């Protein structure tokens, strides 16, 4: 399993995969530009029971996989029992390099501890599709994520006004430890490139169809990060 370092000087580019066809294509040939591949199992489905083999094929080609099964309460497509979701995460521990679990998930702490026992990294995430909370609330989210055992805390909020962006830009400067911050929606477009240049350790791009509002393609994101000195070929 390839180790992930969150603390490099440059952000890691995460390629998001949201369909079964794309995951199968990535298993045959990993996409260019990506440092990590996020397998959105809530969107791809179980791929006829072959999702583990597909993730293993990506890993075997040297591209670490982040397993995400996003609950519908935070914009995902998972609508089945929570116990089933946790079972799928646990099945992935022997294959993937990292998991993403919502901070608000009831089993977030136990899942993070189990992941760490298998040397799997944990991204603890928070999503707000209605707006951007206050800076104090955002920093409280970061602290809660750390208490739950996060290796990286990820915050994604909808940007509607300029002061929403200002709050998001303050988070990397004030938060302790690896942090990923991004703004969603048309008004958050600039954050996709600017925040990785300002301390956000992950930049999320789409391998195919976008999996979040305002998400750039991996190729565009890689090109712009390189142009601004935040990425090398």
Q: pLDDT at position 213, please?
A: 85
Q: What is the CA radius of gyration of the chain?
A: 16
Q: pLDDT at position 3, please?
A: 60
Is 127 a residue of the active site? yes
CATH number of the domain encompassing residue 47: 3.20.20.70
- Let me know: does 135 contact 167? Beta carbons within 8 Å: yes
Query: From first to last of its 233 residues, what are the pLDDT tens digits of the chain?
Result: 456 766 667 899 999 999 999 999 999 999 999 999 999 999 999 999 999 999 999 999 999 999 999 999 999 999 999 999 999 999 999 999 999 999 999 999 999 999 999 999 999 999 999 999 999 999 999 999 999 999 999 999 999 999 999 999 999 999 999 999 999 999 999 999 999 999 999 999 999 988 888 899 999 999 999 999 888 76
User: Which of 61, 118, 121, 154 does the annotation list as catalytic?
Assistant: 154
User: Which of 61, 116, 127, 226 does the annotation list as catalytic?
Assistant: 127
| 6 in a structural domain | no
Question: How far is 134 from 171, CA to CA, in rounded Å?
Answer: 11
Question: How far is 40 from 211, CA to CA, in rounded Å?
Answer: 9
| 4 in a structural domain | no
Q: pLDDT at position 6, please?
A: 64
| 32 in a structural domain | yes
> How many structural domains does the chain have?
1
| 171 in a structural domain | yes
pTM value is 0.95
Domain with 207, as residue range(s), is 12-227
Question: How far is 115 from 93, CA to CA, in rounded Å?
Answer: 6
| 5 in a structural domain | no
């Amino acid at each position: 399993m390839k180790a992930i370092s969150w603390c490099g000087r440059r952000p890691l580019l995460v390629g998001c995969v949201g369909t079964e066809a794309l995951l199968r294509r990535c298993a045959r040939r990993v996409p260019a530009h990506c440092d990590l591949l996020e397998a959105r199992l809530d969107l791809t489905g179980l791929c006829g029971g072959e999702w583990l083999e597909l993730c293993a094929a990506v890993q075997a080609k040297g591209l670490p996989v982040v397993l995400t099964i996003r609950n519908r309460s935070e914009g995902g497509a998972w609508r089945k029992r929570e116990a089933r979701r946790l079972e799928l995460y646990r099945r992935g521990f022997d294959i993937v390099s990292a998991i993403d679990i919502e901070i608000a998930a009831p089993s977030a702490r136990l899942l993070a501890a189990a992941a760490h026992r298998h040397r799997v990294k944990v991204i603890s995430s928070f999503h707000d599709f209605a707006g951007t909370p206050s800076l104090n609330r955002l920093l409280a989210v970061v602290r809660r994520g750390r208490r739950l055992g996060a290796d990286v805390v990820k915050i994604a909020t909808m940007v509607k006004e300029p002061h929403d962006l200002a709050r998001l830009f303050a988070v990397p400067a004030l938060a302790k430890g690896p942090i990923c911050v991004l703004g969603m929606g048309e008004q958050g477009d600039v954050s996709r490139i600017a925040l990785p240049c300002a301390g956000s350790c992950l930049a999320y791009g789409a391998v195919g169809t976008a999996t979040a509002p305002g998400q750039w393609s991996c190729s565009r994101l890689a090109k712009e990060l390189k142009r601004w000195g935040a990425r090398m070929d």
